[in-house]
């Protein structure tokens, strides 16, 4: 893999990690149709770590406040948010550890990814009929259900942000709080994936140039930071459901090409 290819995949990762269109699905399809071959999912882990950095930078002040609220109980809402994030992380941990081999196999199945993207489109479209004047707190049961949605999104082609934000909206959480909860919830998910695949990622140097790794990491981090702000603006204008059209289009086109 060349430097340019690494940067391209990094940009694809960043554009699709936070927008509800499935970053993993796009990476699988990009590798399939552009003939960019990577060793397993290790390169994707590197790109995910890049977007992890973008979340940490974008939400640095809020993460700092949540940490203070949790340990001092200065703001009960902030403390509840942290507990919600911890609980919402559990389902993905169980699925990720229990079905690691099966999940790895999904990344070579372009047909499954195409169908999963179409499914994501239907989930996103359902939010069009929801009034987004919801509450700003995340109850424990709501956090658990959002966590289950995130666990389902481990399947490539099913958008993590799409599932978690959609479920949050369906549960009556306001659009801005739903987006913030989803983005911050990605931190333990991305970090956990990076830790689990760290050894495999380090072995990339034997198959992929160091420049490709660095280029992909940096491009995913920089573009990811910009995309977070973009989605927040879109979701605040109740335009979240429009991404369903994109998912249906890409899913159907890639499915037709793959099975033809």
pLDDT for 231-244, tens place per residue? 998 888 888 999 99
Residue 136 has pLDDT above 90, yes or no: no
Domain boundaries defined on the chain: 3-259
Give the angle 25-27-30 at the CA atoms, nearest 5°: 110
Q: What is the pLDDT of residues 88-120, one digit of tens each?
A: 999 988 987 777 677 767 777 788 888 999 999
Residue 38 has pLDDT above 60, yes or no: no
Tokens of 197: 């695949």
Give the angle 148-144-95 at the CA atoms, nearest 5°: 35
The Cβ of residue 178 has, within 10 Å, a number of other Cβ atoms equal to 29
d(CA 96, CA 157): 16
Structure pTM? 0.85
Residue 73 has pLDDT above 90, yes or no: no
Tokens of 209: 């140039």
d(CA 75, CA 53): 26
Instruction: Report residue 196's pLDDT band, with 50, 70 and 90 as the boundaries.
Output: low
The pLDDT value recorded for residue 10 is 85
Mean pLDDT of 184-201: 76
Decide if 87 contacts 143 (C-beta within 8 A).
Answer: yes
Residue 86 has pLDDT above 90, yes or no: yes
The pLDDT value recorded for residue 198 is 66
d(CA 187, CA 260): 38
Residue 190 has pLDDT above 90, yes or no: no
List b or e across 43-74, with b for residues whose CB sees 16 or more CB atoms inside 10 angstroms.
bbbbbbbbbbbbbbebbeeebeebeebbeeee
d(CA 214, CA 3): 8
The pLDDT value recorded for residue 201 is 57
């Amino acid at each position: 893999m060349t430097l340019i290819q690494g940067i391209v995949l990094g940009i694809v990762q960043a554009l699709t990690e936070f927008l509800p269109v499935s970053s993993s699905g796009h990476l699988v399809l990009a590798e399939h149709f552009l003939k960019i071959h990577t060793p397993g999912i290790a390169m994707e882990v590197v790109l995910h770590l890049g977007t992890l950095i973008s979340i940490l930078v974008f939400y640095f002040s809020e993460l700092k406040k949540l940490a203070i609220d949790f340990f001092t109980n200065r703001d009960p809402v902030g403390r509840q948010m942290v507990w919600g994030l911890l609980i919402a992380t559990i389902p993905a941990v169980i699925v990720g550890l229990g079905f690691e081999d099966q999940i790895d196999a999904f990344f070579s199945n372009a047909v499954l990814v195409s169908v999963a993207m179409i499914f994501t489109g239907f989930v996103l479209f359902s939010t069009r009929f929801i009034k987004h004047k919801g509450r700003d707190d995340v109850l424990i049961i709501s956090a658990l259900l959002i966590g289950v949605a995130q666990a389902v999104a481990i399947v490539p082609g099913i958008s993590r942000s799409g599932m978690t934000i959609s479920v949050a909206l369906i549960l009556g959480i306001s659009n801005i709080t739903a987006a913030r909860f989803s983005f911050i919830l990605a931190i333990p998910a991305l970090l956990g994936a990076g830790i689990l695949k760290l050894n495999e990622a380090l072995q990339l140097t034997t198959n992929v140039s160091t420049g490709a790794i660095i280029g992909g990491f940096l491009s995913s981090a920089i573009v990811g930071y910009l995309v977070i702000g973009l989605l927040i603006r879109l979701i605040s204008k109740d335009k979240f459901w429009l991404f369903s059209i994109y998912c249906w289009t890409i899913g159907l086109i890639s499915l037709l090409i793959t099975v033809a």
